[in-house]
Structure 1
Amino acid sequence: MTTSSTSSASSASLDSVLALLRAPQHDEELLEQLALEVRLLPLGELVYLVETRPATEAALLFRVLDKELALAVFEELPPLHQAELISGLRTPQVADIISDLDPDDRALLFDELPASVAERLMHGLDADERAMTTAVLGYPRHAIGRYMSPEVLPLRPTMTTGEALEHVRAHAAEPETIYMLPVVDGTRRLLGVIGLRRLLLSEGDELVGDLAHEAVHAYATDDREDAARRFLDAKLLAMPILDRENRLVGIVTIDDAFGILEKENAEDSARTSGSEPLPRAYLSTPILRIVRSRIVWLLVLAVSAILTVQVLEIFEDRLDQVVILALFIPLLTGTGGNTGNQAATTVTRALAVGEVRVRDLPRVVWRELRVGATLGSALGVLGLLIAGLIYGWPIGLVMGTTLLSVCTMAAIVGGLMPIVAKKVGADPAVFSNPFISTFCDATGLIIYFTIATAVLGL
């Protein structure tokens, strides 16, 4: 079957599934038909349907999936959506799904469930699964320990590589990954790691301890974003997680690291734009939840914008004397806000990936001062020529000088604020675009009218 015909079949199945879900009644015959149709859909389409359909339809769709496919779909959903879906499912199906989840995924789900429901589901687990889930839940929400899997296959340094391979074959189904194997002593202290490829290529009588190399690792209480970035920078498939006594407690895999950074980037993107991230898919998020994610920021920015109004009121008499000055206000405030936001976005990203640290504040300020002055000079010369030719050279001089000053000021503030936020323990994205735009608007107007007063003799 060609790609186009496969796509057409999938589209037809999707339409059929949607029609069946919208049916006013769902008898046994309809459910059997729905079960047949969903088998024709790829995993991505099923996840999309469960995420975007109303809760009752999503639960109905989920019920007709076979156990293996249901687990695959469930694992792709965000924890909050998983929690909402559980409330609409039968108890036996929930128990099967919960027991098949990895301990770290189970812990994230339990965070979103009511305590009574989480406790009931916890009691339904066997002793080993309950112990591993409890261990993960014991770490703070933003710690990398919440995202590790306690299911690890450690090796002893005294094993030969042949013995190690036999050990891996016997227990390969238990851990989350076997491509990177930690090497520990009798007290589970990490000595190093060895890759499965290295084991397979060894002679068979070499000692694991001689082949193991030093491991890039993280402590279970480390911040999840910092640990995930360190993980990806090292280009690893898996990374050991230790307690403060350097004992192995779990492992983080590459999909966990990508998931953490995807969530952090989504939060930063939303907050930079003046809103809060949505906890579930946009199409299935209630309207009031979307309103709540935006209105707080709008109110904060509206209140802070009063500062700009007050500045205009202070310089109202200057505007009365030279009305032409009012024409350039949108240009100046827009230029200042854009310059500050550009600097803030660049520095926020540099902070996130470890290219800039708090102690680099003086270097960042000096760098942004030069960048802002260069940008301001280019825009200032352009403003001087255009405004001077059209409105007279005194106005041109005001515009040119103001653009130079505003760009320099905005670049410094934009580079400064994310580092200050990091220093006080706040999210740098929160202090970026929304607040910087308002600050640069008010400060830019003060600079503008001060220069106009001096040049025009107002």
Structure 2
Amino acid sequence: MTPEQTRALDDRVLAIEQALSADDLPATSSLIADAPTHEVVAVIERLDARRRAVVYRLLPKQRALEVFEDLPASLQGDLVDALQDSEVAAVFADLDPDDRVRLLDELPASVAPRLLRGLPVDERTLTAAVLGYPQDSIGRRMSPEYVTLRPSVRVSDALARVRSRVRDAETVYTIPVIDDARTVVGVISLRDLLGGADDDTVGALMSEPHTATATDDAEDAARLCADLGVLALPVVDSEGRLVGILTIDDAVRILEQEESEDAARQGGAEPLRRPYLSTPILRIVRSRVVWLFVLAVGATLTVQVLSVFEDTLAQLTVLALFVPLLIGTGGNTGNQAATTVTRALALSEVRTRDVWRVLSREVRVGALLGLLLGVLGFAITSVVFDLQVGLVIGLTLLSICTVSASVGGVMPLLARAIRVDPAVFSNPFITTFVDATGLVIYFLIARAVLQI
């Protein structure tokens, strides 16, 4: 949003909060009546649970459904707790099957069966099919509502079929083409259908299909959809039969969630999975405290290293002045490498089998960075202190940068190899590891150069 739009939204939120505080429901209703759906969503995301439910109930039925569909699944779950059963049942029945599954994942186990029982039989069957796939698979995020065509169908008949299903399908802009065994043999766009002659067959106009398997990781399938630049990606079972479709908007949503998760873990916290202002304080604390304990325990390695080299520090106290500089530089170098490689993994630019190539590149990158920083550190330290201390700092920067970049580049690949989120192995753990090893390198070089 532009600064002007942000200010307008902030003013609207403030006005709504003031109206709610004064229990002025007519004023609140008028404030949200003319607001675009995305603004109403933004307003609801910034309110507490009670006010969120009040604002939602003031929306007309159709508008309420639009807003509900655009809310994060976590806030949808909060609203389910606040609304009456009849209100929840009406909204739940109007959701698409994949959106229902996202909501069910956020609800207590005791609530989900009750909501499912209230669905019509056909909708319950579609939803249950999506629920049957593993939690992080694309099958869990696909839509089972789609239009299919056969290769032998004429364009005129195909368009008639699309028109008859346009309100029920998730999308009609990309249509899978299947054979008698429901195997995907091609895809055809609505544009190609409209541009074809009435007597042309679908098979003559269709293109080669790209598909994802229902058990594939959701992020991998979403990345494939985005990389191909397609509006929808057919999802098939292990035998190649069509079971669903992934639309580009759902793919983008998956990628945004994964980016948020990686960013949080690289910063040493768990993802909130909901807007910051609507997240309870205790949940924010829980998302951070475990990591802080882990990193605090890891930091004891640094303390142990300092205690081992206590005599070296006592003989030349000037060495202590450079400890923050050196471990900070090492941590930053490792984090840069880890962030770059983690991103390359997410984009499928590197694989775990590329570990030696990545290590080779990062050794050279780290050595060049260390050489540049080392020469600068040597020059400045030699002038301020003496030549020997400058040599220690220069050699240490060269060594630490080389080691840090190498470790930072390889750790995400090792994490992927053992099926751990690479972001977990990134900044926090690398910083802790490099702090300890960097100090060992520093004091060993100091002992060798200064003969202490």
TM bracket (short chain): over 0.9
2:52 aligned residue (30, 49, 58)? 58
Correspondence for 2:173 among 168, 172, 179: 179
The answer for the alignment partner of 1:375 in structure 2 is 369
Contact 1:10–1:40 at 8 Å: present in 2 too? no
Q: Identify the residue that residue 213 of structure 2 maps to in structure 1.
A: 219
What residue is the counterpart of 1:109 in the other structure?
103
Deviations 1:260-300 (A, max 9, x none): 00000000000000001102211121111111111111111
Tell me the distance in 1 between the aligned counterparts of 2:394 and 2:358.
Answer: 25
Task: From the superposition, tell whether residues 292 and 8 of structure 1 become closer, same or farther in structure 2 (CA, over 3 Å).
Answer: closer
Shift of 1:197: 0.7
Q: Name stretches of at least 5 consecutive residues in structure 1 with no aligned partner.
A: none
Relative to structure 1, is the Cα distance of residues 348 and 13 closer, same or farther in structure 2, using a 3 angstrom cutoff? closer
Alignment partners' CA distance in 1, 2:208 and 2:238: 18
- Flag the 1:136–1:6 CA change in 2: closer, same or farther, 3 A: closer
Secondary structure at 1:430 match in 2? helix
Residue in structure 1 matched with residue 427 of structure 2 by the alignment:
433
CA distance in 1, matches of 2:57, 2:150: 45
- Please identify, of 44-53 and 158-167, the stretch whose mean Cα deviation from structure 2 is larger: 44-53
| 2:94 corresponds to 1:100 | yes
The one-letter code sitting in structure 2 at the alignment partner of 1:294 is R
How far apart are 1:49 and its partner, in Å?
A: 2.3
Alignment of 1:156-195 (within 5 A): 156-195=150-189
* 1:182 alignment partner, SS class: strand
**Aligned match of 1:19:** 18
Task: Say if 1:12 and 1:310 are closer, same or farther in 2 by CA, change over 3 A.
Answer: closer
Q: Which amino acid aligns with 1:392?
A: D
- The partner residue of 1:396 within 365, 384, 390 is 390
Letter in 1 for 2:424: V
Matched, 1:281 2:275: yes
CA RMSD of aligned residues (A): 1.8
1:187-206 equivalent positions in 2, closer than 5 A: 187-206=181-200
Alignment of 1:412-431 (within 5 A): 412-431=406-425
Match of 1:242 in 2: 236
Q: Describe the superposition over 1:337-378 as per-residue Cα deviations: whole angstroms up to 9, x where unpaired.
A: 010000000000001100010000000000000000001111
Q: Distance in 1 between matches of 2:50 and 2:85?
A: 16
Alpha-carbon distance, 1:33 to partner? 4.1
**2: CA distance between counterparts of 1:70 and 1:404?**
60
Q: Secondary structure at the match of 1:279?
A: coil
Residue in structure 2 matching 1:91, options 85, 100, 103: 85
Instruction: Return the alpha-carbon distance in structure 2 between the equivalents of residues 103 and 8 of structure 1.
Output: 36
Provide structure 2 residue ranges, at least 5 long, that are not aligned to the other structure: none
Q: Which moved more, 1:39-48 or 1:448-457?
A: 39-48
In structure 2, how many angstroms separate the alpha carbons of the residues matched to 1:4 and 1:78? 24
Of the candidates 255, 265, 269, which is equivalent to residue 263 of structure 2? 269
Residue in structure 2 matched with residue 357 of structure 1 by the alignment: 351
Q: CA deviation at 1:7?
A: 9.4
- Secondary structure at the residue paired with 1:139? coil
Q: Matched residues in 1 for 2:425 and 2:443: separation?
A: 26
1:311 aligns with 2:305: yes
Matched residue, 1:80: 74
Q: What's the CA shift string for 1:193-223, capped at 9, x where partnerless?
A: 1111111111110111222111111011100
Aligned partner (choices 10, 21, 42) of residue 36 of structure 2: 42
Q: CA deviation at 1:32?
A: 4.0
Following superposition, the deviation at residue 31 of structure 1 comes to: 3.6
Are the counterparts in 1 of residues 334 and 409 from structure 2 also a CA contact under 8 Å? yes
Aligned residue type for 1:299: F
> CA separation in 2, counterparts of 1:310 and 1:12?
53
Is the CA contact 2:9–2:43 (under 8 Å) kept in the aligned structure 1?
no
Q: Which amino acid aligns with 1:19?
A: Q
Kept in 2: contact 1:241–1:249 (CA 8 A):
yes
Aligned-pair identity in percent equals 55
1:297 to 291, 294, 299: 291
Contact 2:342 2:423 in 1 (8 A): yes
- Deviations along 1:152-182, whole A, 9 cap, x unmatched? 1001111111111111112211101101111
Residues 10/230 of structure 1: CA separation in 2 closer, same or farther (3 Å cut): closer
Task: For residue 192 of structure 1, give the secondary structure of its aligned residue in structure 2.
Answer: strand
Specify the SS of the correspondent of 1:449: helix
The 5 Å alignment of 1:315-326 reads: 315-326=309-320
Structure 1 residue 61: Cα displacement:
0.7
